[in-house]
Amino acid sequence: AQKITQTQPGMFVQEKEAVTLDCTYDTSDQSYGLFWYKQPSSGEMIFLIYQGSYDEQNATEGRYSLNFQKARKSANLVISASQLGDSAMYFCAMRESNNDMRFGAGTRLTVKP
Amino acid sequence: DGGITQSPKYLFRKEGQNVTLSCEQNLNHDAMYWYRQDPGQGLRLIYYSQIVNDFQKGDIAEGYSVSREKKESFPLTVTSAQKNPTAFYLCATKAGWGNQPQHFGDGTRLSIL
């Protein structure tokens, strides 16, 4: 069964606007971690933000924030004030208690000038 | 200069040939991982190692082999048994046993001649 689902293969956003990238997950563990990574066209994976399952506050890192809705098992990434350099693939990932990390299929974000 | 070094950046394999992808780290991280990424898709786990001289199969280990003789090094061999090896291969490391993020190398792109 798919552990991480990213339903948006591609998204477009106007420069300086905010965009939300969706991620839902499936786990029966009580303790787990959720991660978002950015992959530019050059291929490297850049860690953006982390949310623990017991964290009560939504995680934020600069222009990135994570909209964590535990009951709905969703962990959407919000990018505020989009920049041209934000154009990339974005991957949602989850680590369960067995320490394995599972990645979603990714969303390609294109920022329009 | 700290980080994860993957080499080579591009690699070509002839039919029936084994090739080895290098991954070296100087972050002093205990855990190391190998992922495969096919075009337009997410990452799939091939092998991982939590400590020296120990490693575990991931979801797609068939046709691959690894070793972990030193903490700094986790080479991946793509054997002739892997019938469709053309892909982008990413090595990652992680510190400790908690929910630290994985850090990635720049990847190796493997193609069949």
Question: pLDDT tens for residues A31-77?
Answer: 999 999 999 999 999 999 999 999 989 999 999 999 999 999 999 99
Instruction: Report the alpha-carbon distance of residue B73 to residue A66 in Å, rounded.
Output: 34
| pLDDT mean across residues, chain A | 94
Are A44 and B105 a contacting pair at CB < 8 A?
yes
pLDDT for B40 = 81
* Whether residue B83 has pLDDT greater than 90: no
Give whole-number Cα distances, B2 to B26, B29, B91, B105, in Å. Answer: 6, 11, 15, 11
Output the six-digit token pair for B99: 């929910």
More confident of the two residues B94 and B96: B94
Q: Please report, to the nearest 10 degrees, the dihedral formed by the alpha carbons of residues A14, A62, A10, B38 taken in order.
A: 140
* Whether residue B101 has pLDDT greater than 80: yes
pLDDT (average), residues B22-34: 95
Residues of B numbered 18-37 whose beta carbons fall under 8 angstroms of chain A's beta carbons: which are they? Answer: 31, 33, 35
Are B99 and A45 a contacting pair at CB < 8 A?
no
B contacts of A104 (beta carbons < 8 Å) = 42
Residue B1 confidence class, pLDDT cut points 50, 70, 90? low
The minimal CB distance from A103 to the residues B43, B99, B101 is found for B43
Alpha carbon of B32: minimum distance to chain A alpha carbons (Å): 12
Alpha carbon of B22: minimum distance to chain A alpha carbons (Å): 16
Calculate what percentage of chain A has a pLDDT beyond 70. Answer: 97
